[in-house]
A = this chain, B = another copy of it.
Amino acid sequence: MPPILVVGSVAYDTVKTPFGEASEALGGSATYFSVSAGFFAHVSLVAAVGQDFKEEDWRFLESRNIDLQGLKRVDGKTFRWVGEYGYDLNDARTLDTQLNVLAEFQPNLSDAHRDIKHVFLGNLDPKIQRDVLAQVTKPQLVACDTMNYWINGHFNSLLETLRRVDILIINDAEARQLTRESNLIRAARKIHGWGPGTVVVKRGEYGALMFQRDVQGRISVFGTPAYPLEDIFDPTGAGDTFAGGFMGYLAGVGRSDWASLRQAVVFGSVMASFNVEKFSLDRLRNLTFTEIELRYKEFKEMTRIDDVVEWQPDSRV
C-alpha cells in the first residue's frame, strides 16, 4: 500500500467543552492525521515526543497502520495544549501551550522515508515544513496545513513553503486571513497563484469546498455539506482527521485526478464527522471500516441530485 509521510505535532491535550472534559489525552495534529489516514494507507509519522510519552500511546499508534521509526523520543516533556470550547464549538480558545520538545524539533528523515511520494506537512513552522520537504527525494503529492500563528508571524516563510505544495488544506477563517480576501473564490485564486493548484477549505459544521485550477487557468469547484450530527462533543483534531481521511484515501487508491480528489473530500468529511462524536481520539479508536463505508454512502445519498422530471421551462415568460 502506498505510504504517506506526515510531519506534525504529537501532544497531550487538556480540553474542556460544555459537554465534559478530557485531561492529558493523546492528541496533536500528526496524531489525529495518522490515526485517520491509517484507515486507508500505511502512514509514516515524523514527530518528537518527550520522556513522559506513555508506552500505551506508543503501542496504540503502532497498532494503527502507523510506522513510528520517525517518532523520536527525546529529553524533555511532550508538547502540551490546553484549550476550551464554548457552546458554538467553532472556535477553540487556547488557554496554554507548552512547546516542550517541539521547541527544538529538527526532523531528519531516514532513507526509507525520503522515498515516500505522498507527504502531509502538518501545522508547524513553515521553515520546518520546507526542511522536511527538501529531504523527500521525489514527492508526488504534497499537502499542507497551517494556522493563524504562522500566517501572522511568518507570512513570507509560509509563501515559500506554499510554492512547493500541491494542496493547501485550510479552514475558512485561515483562508481569509492568509489572503486578506473575504470571498473564498478570490481567496482560492490568490492561493492558486502562490503555488497550490488545489485548495481545500474546511468550514466546520458547514462542510467543505475544494477549488482546483487546471493548466488553462479554469477553476473547478466541489462542495459538500458536513454530515449532520445531533451531538458534537469535541471538535479537537477535526481538521487533522479530515486531512488524514483526504490524504489517506488518495494514497490508498494511488490517484489524484479531480474525481478522486472529490471522493477524498468526502472521506475527509466522513472521518472528521466521526472524530467529533466523542472526546479526543476515542471515536477513532473503535471505528470500523463498515462504519466508514456506511457513512460515505450516506454522504452520497444526502447530496445526490436526481433528475426525476426533466424540467421544461414554460413558454409564457
Q: Identify the A interface with B (CB < 8 A).
A: 1, 38-42, 64-65, 87-88, 182-186, 203, 206-207, 209, 221-225, 228-232, 249, 252-253, 255, 257, 259-260, 262-263, 266-267, 289, 292-293, 296, 299-300, 302-309, 311, 313-314, 316-317
Contacts and interface: CB of A to CB of B under 8 A. Distances in A.
B252 A308 contact: no
Q: Which of A221, A255, A293, A302 has the most CB of B within 10 A?
A: A302
A183 B263 contact: no
A87 B182 CA distance: 9
A90 B118 CA distance: 39
A225 B255 CA distance: 25
Given A228-B221, A317-B64, A306 B39 contact: no
B249 A185 contact: no
A316 B38 CA distance: 9
Contact of A263 (B230, B292, B305): B305
Contacts of A263: 305-309, 311
Q: Which of A64, A229, A259, A299 has the most CB of B within 10 A?
A: A259
Nearest to A89: B182
B253 A225 contact: no
A314 B222 contact: no
